[in-house]
Chain A
């Protein structure tokens, strides 16, 4: 039985990267969660009270948004390639998607972590974006928007016809010649 990574090496590489990113986010987010719990229960208050919500924002965003969606992109890419038995229609789009997601994540995380450094006027102690009119640094929102657009690009690439081994080789548009489409 052919292994996925031998049949679709380029796709497998992107999937591994996305999975790795998700687990990095999981690790950092979980660390902040642990710090926050130690702080809240008084066991080991390593974070000063003023930084509590900064740590909490990092914990929430990295775990609920970044970890979950990188994981989702990895699994969906694998699932779509495996079940349709064809490679991704355009690997450049997949790489672009991953790149956008990484840039977005880094931007947002930097604005959140900036809250720990009082000298830098950049912070995002807003938990998520649902507590308007409380406002974070614009990079927080810009980063999340880039991340989001990256996932759109990834999704777009999953649904298009074409790709190595596809039953139809049309790579432009969504028109589908075979009658079963």
Chain B
């Protein structure tokens, strides 16, 4: 299956750039890296907030 990477224009009459590639050739490596970084940040911050800032704060309500 092929997909077009044409950008829809906003009515100004410009020609859109069209380059056809296959489904598996689509490779947004930049986006993947960025999301990967956010993901890693999320995990690290969650673990920090929960274990260091929350549990690490001494007496906690236990009942």
Any A–B CB pair closer than 8 Å: no
